[in-house]
Amino acid sequence: MTHQSPPEGGAENAEARVVIDTSVAHQSRIYDYWLGGKDNFAVDREAAKQAIAAYPPIVRGVRAQRAFLARVVRYLAEEMGILQFLDIGTGLPTANNTHEVAQAAAPTARVVYVDNDPVVLAHARALLTSTPQGATSYLDADLRAPDKVLAGAADLLDFAQPIAVLLIGILQLIPDADDPRAIVARLVEAIPSGSWLAVYHPASDIDQRRVGEAVRRVNARSAGTTTLRSCDQVARFFVGLKLIEPGIVQVQRWRPGTAAADDGEEIAAYAGLARKF
Ligand SMILES: C[S@@+](CC[C@H](N)C(=O)[O-])C[C@H]1O[C@@H](n2cnc3c(N)ncnc32)[C@H](O)[C@@H]1O
């Protein structure tokens, strides 16, 4: 388990304590730029802008992603009584971080954040601001080593009690060669019945030409690669689990409630939430 004392300020300041390659873009910082954050480098901004030029709705998509994260966490904490969250692929701290949403509904909620980006690590302090009754921790680990993630998470989470595993905008960063389905299956195997899996994943079968070009531009400038997947491919991550209504849908259509209006515009991403019985 890693608890850091990161520097204040933007990504440029983070270099003081962690080694960061600023010559290649990274997904967390590209995503930060799309969200309007300041924790990114020139190479990230260039990749982010190139993608927006190819597919302008990408900015709506990342906002919809954050809104989905908040809706899922609120639903689980408020309505399903879930008090433990394993948020893998946390991203840079922003508004409505998982523990803030969960603990607003359930102050005793415990959240383990996991990411493998050193810049996210450098900003982890903002994720470690728990209510006194609850707890948060940060794990510097790679989803492709799920047993290490599970072992680290067990320092804070009780694996005899239900846990919500959040894979919000990370599985597209795991190429097929790394067998993301097996990774998800390992996580699901480790959590008890009554637990949950939430997934947000960019789509390969919506607005294919523009989305494909945006991804090509990001991949050409990034350390990792993004793999788009179809609705059927996303559904396979949920094998053995029971999806709750409305199933796997375009993200803006997942239980929009009153807060997020579906204005009828397409967003090239799928979202779903399922329970382990
Ligand atoms: C697009 S961001 C999503 C952030 C957040 N989940 C959200 O929905 O706002 C993806 C995050 O996953 C992290 N990530 C990518 N590959 C990873 C891996 N193999 N293991 C752990 N984290 C990873 C990146 O560093 C980045 O912070």
Mean pLDDT (10-residue bins), the chain, 277 residues: 35 55 92 95 97 96 96 98 98 95 98 95 91 97 98 98 98 98 98 98 97 98 96 98 97 81 80 98
**pLDDT recorded at residue 13:** 45
Q: In 135-157, which positions are buried (b, 16+ CB within 10 angstroms) versus exposed (e)?
A: bbbbbbbebeebeebbebbeebb
| CA dist., res. 80 & res. 275, Å (int) | 11
The protein residue whose alpha carbon is closest to atom 1 in ligand 1 is: 169
| CA of 126 relative to ligand 1 center, distance in Å | 16
- C-beta of 32 in contact with ligand 1 (< 6 A): no
Tokens matching residue 185: 């299956």
Q: Whose CA is closest to atom 8 on ligand 1?
A: 168
Token pair of 10, please?
Answer: 């933007």
134 alpha carbon to ligand 1 midpoint, in Å? 24
- 212 neighbors 92 (Cβ within 8 angstroms): no
Q: Which residue has the tokens 């008890």?
A: 192
Residue nearest atom 16 of ligand 1, based on CA coordinates = 173
Residue where the block lists tokens 């924790």? 39
The confidence score (pLDDT) of residue 126 equals 87
Whether residue 29 has its Cβ less than 6 Å from ligand 1: no
Task: Tell me what pLDDT residue 9 has.
Answer: 41
Nearest ligand 1 atom to alpha carbon 31: 1
**Ligand 1 mutation pick, 41, 97, 173, max ligand atoms within 8 A of CB:** 173
Atom of ligand 1 at shortest distance to CA of 117? 25
| Nearest ligand 1 atom, CA 68 | 8
